[in-house]
Amino acid sequence: MAIENRNLKPGTKLVAKYRKHEYNCEVVAGEGEKILYRLEDGREFKSPSAAGMAITGKACNGWAFWRVKTEAAPATPEAATDTQAAQAPATPEPSEPAPAQANIFKLPNQKGVPEGQTKWHCRDCAGTFLAPSGEKPEKCPYQHQS
């Protein structure tokens, strides 16, 4: 899911999937309370968009490209820490189905899109594509395997 709370604290782990590969990034403290985004290879960037661009080779919205990585809850309650408990996703009641995460979403900026078309984004491949207005695509047209 795209990052909605942009006040990320140092130590936050980010993850992105691009062209069938998973990439990791960590939010780190820079000089003078500045936040930096460090890729696995050690390169640091001033924004999640710049870190995403280093991976994709093209401009991208880092807040949509990355998602906050959550750790699985430990097997025993005694091993859980406050941090892990806060990061663990809420478990739905057994009677209610788990919510489906939409891997395709409509982009908020529709500038320059031809009339009768809507621009969509695929989280799996980080690609964008057009679809007829009024229709929500069921799958990404790039035929990738997730």
Q: Does some domain include residue 96?
A: no
Give the residue among 131, 137, 140, 141 at the shortest CA–CA distance from 110. 131
Residue where a domain stops, chosen among 49, 65, 88 = 88
Do 82 and 141 lie in one domain? The reply is no
Do 81 and 110 lie in one domain? The reply is no
H or E element at residue 51: helix 48-56
Reduced to 3 states, what is the DSSP secondary structure of residue 64? helix
Which residues lie below 8 Å from residue 42, measured CB to CB, with a gap of 6+?
none
Do 69 and 1 lie in one domain? The reply is yes
Q: Which domain holds residue 120?
A: 101-146
Residue 40, token pair as written in the block: 């696995």
Do 113 and 145 lie in one domain? The reply is yes
Q: For the segment 43-52, what is each residue's pLDDT rounded down to a tens digit?
A: 999 999 999 9
Q: Does some domain include residue 29?
A: yes
Reported as a pLDDT band with limits 50, 70 and 90, residue 72 is low
Which residues lie below 8 Å from residue 39, measured CB to CB, with a gap of 6+?
23, 24, 25, 45, 51, 54, 55
Do 64 and 121 lie in one domain? The reply is no
| Tally of structural domains, the chain | 2
Do 25 and 58 lie in one domain? The reply is yes
Q: Does some domain include residue 93?
A: no
Q: For the segment 76-133, what is each residue's pLDDT rounded down to a tens digit?
A: 444 444 444 444 445 444 444 434 446 788 887 888 888 889 988 887 777 888 889 8
φ, ψ of residue 56 in degrees (nearest 5)? -85, -25
Q: Which residue has the higher pLDDT, 101 or 69?
A: 69
H or E element at residue 48: helix 48-56
Whether the per-residue pLDDT at 64 is higher than 80: the answer is yes
